[in-house]
């Protein structure tokens, strides 16, 4: 059966941040947009579920770079507070190193300088210098590099960027760069922690990404009241206001083409036609499984040789008591970051002594747990593509993290867990068609940055574009939002419409 053909129409595959962003921008430019999402709920990795009075955000929990969200809303004549109340967390987060030592990162810069100085003489001044350089990188990176479609190296021929590349230590590693500033292991952990968001080791990440330290320390950690899925709701409401039609439980099984054009997608055995197709589902899935031979952008060897950002082993827990010694965000850095990173990237295997992260949003938000209870989300980063994602493995790591959680917080927790759900590789594959079970897409290594990332544009089909965390600018909500805008802008320039 053939569905109606509209002029200047677009189909978007998926409903994560990148897809919703591209759909909204295309609709604003006059396209008739239809979104097809395979799952029953929109939002991709930022879905939510409610169980036994607890409300769990399934994926992202850190709201960083609030201006990227605000810019998106402004582009549609809105502002953040039209959708949710955004609260700055104070302190930003806690890092636990052992039973005695923990460090709470203050939200004010002056307090952070003082904290650094208290660990290492001169580190306060050094941090000031480090953050001044980080701010410069952030400004150049966010304004001159991140918004580029990265279709050609010529886009980067910009005097400010070129002169800045030297200042930005693009070719230096993050580790060797930061080693020049700080010696104390706790301070180094704090400085290296934001790199975890980029999905690569500090040795393998360009020093350019110290811009993330500016995001962390100067711009702060925020929380949208009601939870992270409130952002998805906001994006959907903008899409709907601009006439985007969203269809859930609608997996795209094929992108159909004729000559140089993708003319339709197949959904539940029906063909849906459009002038432009934007693939916001995992790039590797679209390239390997939805496109026919001859229309793929890359071969199997290419995909196999990519460095993926990690997968995750996740636990959603409902606890029937309050836990005093946790903040909203808690990083358990009581084991070696380097050893864990090696088991993720260099010799991929189930980790021996993993670091982990605990989000306790009920510290900030009463709506996510019944009174007197806590909502806990535990995340262990693990390598992609690991075999044996089974109940026994999940239970083994559960016992390991709960034991360390109890030890480092000095609180009994295990016996008070009244709700528990686990989530790992096989769920990422089943729910999102995630390549090798990745959680965060493709790592931001030096050889996977800008024009070296999978391209936003199909090499074969003139009107097919790719958006999301496997292409530019990279993983994370702010980059995914920007990715949607870049792709919508490029796609709208397309002159050759199929219909």
Ligand X SMILES: Cc1cc2nc3c(=O)[nH]c(=O)nc-3n(C[C@H](O)[C@H](O)[C@H](O)COP(=O)(O)OP(=O)(O)OC[C@H]3O[C@@H](n4cnc5c(N)ncnc54)[C@H](O)[C@@H]3O)c2cc1C
Binding site for ligand X (CB under 6 A): 13-19, 36-39, 44-46, 59-62, 251-252, 280-282, 285, 312, 314, 379, 432-433, 439-441, 468-469, 475-477, 480
3-state SS of 202-261?
CCCCEHHHHHHHHHHHHHCCEEECCCCHHHHHHHHHHHHHCCCEEECCCCEEEEEEECCE
Find the shortest distance in angstroms from Cβ 491 to ligand X: 16
Of 281 and 413, CB closest to ligand X: 281
Of 75 and 411, CB closest to ligand X: 75
Of 31 and 428, CB closest to ligand X: 428
Find the shortest distance in angstroms from Cβ 167 to ligand X: 26
Strands 93-96 and 329-332: parallel
Task: Give the end-to-end CA distance of the chain in Å, rounded to a whole number.
Answer: 17
Of 123 and 317, CB closest to ligand X: 317
167, 208 Cβ separation under 8 angstroms: no
Find the shortest distance in angstroms from Cβ 42 to ligand X: 7
Give one DSSP letter per residue of 78-89, joined into a string.
--GGGT--EEE-
Of 161 and 232, CB closest to ligand X: 232
Contacts of residue 391, defined as CB under 8 A and 6 or more positions apart, other chains included, come to none
Cis peptide before 473 (omega within 30 of 0): yes
Contacts of residue 22, defined as CB under 8 A and 6 or more positions apart, other chains included, come to 12, 278, 280, 465, 467, 483, 484, 485, 487, 488, 491
Find the shortest distance in angstroms from Cβ 174 to ligand X: 19
Find the shortest distance in angstroms from Cβ 279 to ligand X: 9
Place of tokens 């104390």: 184
Cα(330)–Cα(202) distance, integer angstroms:
20
Find the shortest distance in angstroms from Cβ 468 to ligand X: 3
Cα(359)–Cα(376) distance, integer angstroms:
6
Of 16 and 164, CB closest to ligand X: 16
Of 36 and 181, CB closest to ligand X: 36
59, 439 Cβ separation under 8 angstroms: yes
Find the shortest distance in angstroms from Cβ 266 to ligand X: 10
């Amino acid at each position: 059966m053939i569905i109606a053909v509209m002029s200047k129409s677009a189909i978007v595959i998926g409903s994560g941040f990148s897809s919703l962003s591209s759909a909204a921008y295309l609709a604003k430019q006059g396209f008739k947009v239809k979104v097809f999402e395979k799952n029953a709920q929109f939002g991709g990795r930022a879905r939510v579920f409610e169980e036994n009075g607890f409300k769990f955000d399934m994926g992202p929990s850190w709201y960083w770079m609030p201006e990227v969200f605000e810019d998106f809303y402004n582009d549609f004549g809105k502002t953040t507070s039209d959708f949710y109340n955004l609260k700055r967390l104070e302190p930003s987060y806690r890092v636990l190193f052992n039973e005695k030592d923990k460090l709470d990162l203050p939200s004010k810069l002056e307090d952070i300088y003082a904290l650094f100085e208290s660990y290492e003489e001169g580190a306060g001044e050094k941090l000031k210098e480090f953050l001044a350089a980080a701010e410069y990188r952030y400004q150049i990176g966010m304004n001159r590099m991140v918004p580029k479609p990265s279709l050609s190296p010529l886009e980067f021929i910009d005097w400010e960027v070129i002169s800045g590349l030297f200042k930005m230590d693009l070719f230096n590693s993050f580790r060797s760069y930061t080693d020049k500033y700080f010696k104390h292991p706790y301070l180094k952990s704090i400085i290296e922690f934001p790199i975890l968001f980029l999905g690569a080791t500090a040795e393998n990440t360009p020093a350019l990404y110290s811009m993330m330290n500016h995001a962390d320390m100067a711009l702060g950690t925020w929380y949208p009241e009601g939870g992270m899925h409130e952002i998805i709701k906001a994006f959907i409401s903008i899409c709907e206001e601009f006439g985007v039609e969203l269809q859930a439980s609608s997996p795209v099984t094929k992108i159909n083409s004729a000559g140089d054009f993708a003319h339709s997608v197949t959904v539940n055995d029906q063909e849906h036609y459009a002038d432009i197709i934007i693939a916001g589902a995992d790039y590797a899935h679209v390239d390997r499984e939805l496109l026919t031979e001859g229309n793929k952008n890359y071969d199997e060897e290419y995909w196999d040789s990519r460095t993926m950002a990690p997968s995750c082993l996740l636990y959603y827990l409902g606890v029937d008591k309050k836990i005093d010694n946790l903040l909203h965000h808690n990083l358990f850095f009581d084991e070696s970051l380097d050893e864990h990173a090696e088991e993720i990237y260099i010799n991929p295997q189930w980790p021996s002594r993993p670091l982990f992260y605990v989000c306790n949003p009920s510290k900030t938000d009463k709506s996510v747990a019944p009174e007197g209870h806590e909502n806990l989300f535990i995340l262990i980063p693990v390598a992609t593509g690991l075999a044996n994602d089974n109940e026994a493995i999940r239970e083994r790591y559960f016992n390991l993290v709960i034991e360390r959680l109890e030890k480092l917080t000095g609180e009994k927790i295990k016996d008070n867990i009244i709700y528990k759900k686990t989530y790992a590789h096989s769920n990422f594959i089943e729910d999102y068609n995630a390549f090798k079970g990745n959680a965060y897409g493709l790592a931001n290594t030096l050889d996977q940055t800008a024009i070296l990332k999978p391209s936003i544009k199909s090499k074969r089909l003139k009107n097919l574009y790719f958006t999301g965390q496997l292409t530019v600018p990279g993983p994370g909500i702010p980059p995914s939002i920007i990715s949607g805008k870049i792709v919508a802008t490029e796609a709208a320039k397309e002159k050759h419409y199929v219909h």
